[in-house]
Amino acid sequence: MINLNFDWSNSWLIATILNTFLIIIALISPKKLLTIMGYLNAWVLGVIVWGCFQWQGYLVVMFYFLVGSGITKVGIKQKEAEGIAEKRSGVRGPENVWGSALIATICALGYVFAPLSWQHFFVIGYVASFATKLSDTCASEIGKAYGKNTFLITTLKPVPRGTEGAISVEGTIAGIIASIAIALLGYGINMIDGMGIIICLISAFIATNLESLIGATLQTKFNWLTNEIVNVLNTLMGAIIAILLTYVYLVNFSL
C-alpha cells in the first residue's frame, strides 16, 4: 500500500487561512449549500482535513461535498412533492456535516497520531468512508428520483420510493459509480493504490447495503437512530471493512 509523506510544517496555517477564505465566500454567496452553522462546522472539518492530509485529503472531501450536494438537487421538486426530499431542500446543517464526515475526521487525526506502521490503514479508511457515503447518497437520491421499481432489502417486496431500507436498480448502479469515482480520485492523487480501489469498492458496496438493512429493520423502531446516526454507522462500517480487507491483503500478499 502507498505511504504518504506529508510536510506538516505549514499545513495548519494554510488550512486555517484557506478555509476561512472559502467560508467567507460561501457565506456571502447567494446560493447556499449549507446553513450558517453548517458552514462553521465545515470550517472545522476543512481545517482538520487539510492539516492532516493536506490538499489530497481536502480534494476528496470537497469532491464528496460538491457531488453529494449536486445529487441531492436532482429531481428535488418531484421528491418534495412526494415528501421524500431531504429537509431544507437539501441545504445541509452541522448534523449532516458530521454525520457524513465524523469517521473520516477520526481517520485523518489517526493518521497524524498513529505509529507509522498504522498510517496506511487510516488513509484507506478515510477514502473508503467517503466512497461509502457518496455511494449511499447517490443510491438514495437517484433511487428516489428515477427508481422505477423499489424493493425492501429484507424481503425484496415492492415498496414506495423513499421508504427506509428500499433499494432500486437505478440507485444501486448510481451508488457503484459514485464509489468508483471517489476511489479513482484517491488513486489519482496517490492516496491509495490499485488494490485500494478494489477495497474501497467492496467496502462501499457492503456498507451501503448494510445501511439499507439497518434502515429497514432498526431505524423505525428507535427514535434515537436518526439519519445522521445511521450515516455515521454507514461510514464507520465502510472504513472498518476497508481497514480489515487491507490488513488481510497485507498479511497474505505483501509480506
**pLDDT, tens only, 177-215:** 999 999 999 999 999 999 999 999 999 999 999 999 998
Residue 93 pLDDT exceeds 80:
yes
CB atoms within 10 A of CB 188: 11
Percentage of residues in the chain having pLDDT higher than 90: 60
Per-residue pLDDT band at 21 (split at 50, 70, 90): very high
Choose between 222 and 60: higher pLDDT: 60
Which of 14, 218, 248, 231 lies closest to 130, judged by CA? 231
Residue 86 gets which letter from DSSP?
P
Average pLDDT over residues 33-61: 93
Q: Which helix (DSSP H) or strand (DSSP E) does residue 152 occupy?
A: strand 150-152
Percentage of residues in the chain having pLDDT higher than 70: 91
Which of 48, 173, 222 lies closest to 214, judged by CA? 222
Copy the grid coordinates of residue 206: 457492503
- 3-state class (DSSP) for residue 182: helix
How does the average pLDDT of the chain come out, rounded?
89
Query: Where are the domains positioned within the chain?
Result: 11-253
Q: Which contacts of 34-37 are long-range, i.e. CB under 8 A and separated by 24 or more positions?
A: 34/91, 34/92, 34/93, 34/97, 35/88, 35/91, 35/92, 35/93, 35/94, 37/93, 37/94
Cα 216–Cα 175–Cα 187 angle in degrees, nearest 5: 135
Q: 131-157, pLDDT tens digit by residue?
A: 999 999 999 999 888 888 889 999 989
Per-residue pLDDT band at 82 (split at 50, 70, 90): low
